[in-house]
Amino acid sequence: MSKKIANQNLRVAILGFGTVGSSVARVLAEQKFGGIELTHIYNRNVANKRGHANAKFVPKSVVWTENVDDILNSKVDIVIETIGGLDPIGKWLERALKSGKSVVTANKQLIAYRGAALQKIAQVNNVALVYNAAVAGGVPVIPATLQGLQGDRITRITGILNGTCNFMLSHMEEGADYAEVLKKAQAAGYAEANPSADVDGYDARAKLCILARLALHAELNPDEVPTQSISKVKLVDFLYAQQLNCTIRQISRVETDGTTVRARVAPMLVPKSSPIAWSHGTQNMVVTTGKFGGDVVFSGHGAGGHPTAVAVVSDLLAVAHGTSRVYLPTKKRSVTGEFMAPHYLRFVVKDQPGIVSAIAGALAKVGANINSILQRPGFPKDQLVFVVTTEPCPAPVVEKAMRAIGKLSFIVDTPLSLQIMTEEDKAED
Other CB atoms within 10 Å distance of the CB of residue 357? 9
Question: Could you please report the per-residue DSSP string of 191-239?
Answer: S-SSTHHHHTSHHHHHHHHHHHHHHS-EE--GGGS-B--STT--HHHHH
Catalytic residue among 49, 101, 108, 207: 207
Distance, in Å, from the CA atom of 373 to the CA atom of 382, rounded to the nearest integer, reads 19
Q: Residue 115 to residues 30, 88, 90, 131: CA-CA distances in angstroms? A: 31, 15, 10, 9
3-state secondary structure of 5: coil
Beta strands in 352-410 (DSSP E): 370-374, 384-390, 393-394
Edge-first strand order for the sheet with 129-130 is 63-65, 36-42, 10-15, 78-81, 102-105, 129-130
Cβ 142 vs Cβ 318: under 8 Å: no
* First-residue to last-residue Cα distance in the chain: 37
400 burial level (CB within 10 Å; 0-12, 13-18, 19+): middle
Edge-first strand order for the sheet with 246-256 is 294-301, 283-290, 154-160, 246-256, 261-271, 411-420, 343-349, 384-390, 370-374
Pairing of strands 246-256, 261-271: antiparallel
DSSP type of residue 53: G
Answer positive or negative: Cα dihedral of 212, 213, 218, 219.
Answer: positive
Please say if 207 is a catalytic residue: yes
For 354: left if phi > 0, alpha if psi spans -120 to 50, otherwise beta; the answer is: left
Distance, in Å, from the CA atom of 210 to the CA atom of 3, rounded to the nearest integer, reads 24
Q: Interior CA angle at 361 toward 355 and 367, to 5°?
A: 145
Active site residues: 207
